[in-house]
Amino acid sequence: MTGRTRVQIPARRSDVAYFERVIRELPTIEDVEGVDANPVTGSVLIHHGEDFVSIIQKALDKQLFDVTALENARPGPVLTSRLAEKLSETDHLIHEATHGRFDLNSVVMVGLVGAGTFQILRGAVLPAGATLLWYAFGIAWARSPKVVPVNKEG
């Protein structure tokens, strides 16, 4: 399986007969590997090979759905892109608010040390306390300067 694409069909929401037809006819198109439909949400999940464009064209030919409305639509940023952007903004705000003494990584590291210490004090050394301290150590280690041995023989 190469990919999967969700097609929203809000105009057909709750139309069970329509979605039964889509489930019956869409798999007959070459390169469609599977179809899941949900009439309640008005969506179809298409599991497909590489040539999704031809699948859409053949679905249009079968009058299963029309995607012409998508031509002018701009997709929103992917969740991970939005999350990375927000984390970067948060890092910048922390850096500015602390006059460069802290950043997001250092705040997370301190939080992990605190949470790990709390878990150990309450008796949950393994796995909770040790795991949290291990993650804190990982952040500290990744950010620490590395010592490179100098070859004195020359």
Could you tell me the domains of the chain?
Answer: 3-70 (3.30.70.100), 79-143 (no CATH)
* 57 band by pLDDT with thresholds 50, 70 and 90: confident
Q: Is the pLDDT of residue 71 over 80?
A: no
One-letter amino acid of 25: E
Task: Express each pLDDT in 84-109 by its tens digit.
Answer: 888 889 999 999 999 999 999 999 99
Residue 122 pLDDT > 90: yes
pLDDT at 141 over 90: no
Average pLDDT, the chain: 84
pTM for this predicted structure = 0.44
Lookup: tokens for 142: 């990744």
| 126: Cα separation from own chain's centroid | 30
DSSP 122: T
What would you report as the CA-atom Rg of the chain, rounded to the nearest whole angstrom?
Answer: 26
Scored b (16 or more CB within 10 A) or e, 4-20 reads eeebebeebeeeeebbe
Strand locations in the chain (E)? 3-8, 32-38, 43-48
| Per-residue pLDDT reduced to its tens digit, 9-18 | 888 889 999 9
Among residues of the chain, what percentage have pLDDT more than 70? 85
Whether residue 102 contacts residue 93, with contact meaning beta carbons closer than 8 Å, is answered with: no
Give the span between the Cα atoms of 99 and 94, in whole angstroms.
8
- Closest Cα partner for 31 from 51, 15, 16, 13? 51
131 — pLDDT class (breaks 50, 70, 90): very high
What is the predicted pLDDT for the residue at 112?
95
pLDDT at 74 (0 to 100): 53
Residue with the larger pLDDT of the pair 147 and 131: 131
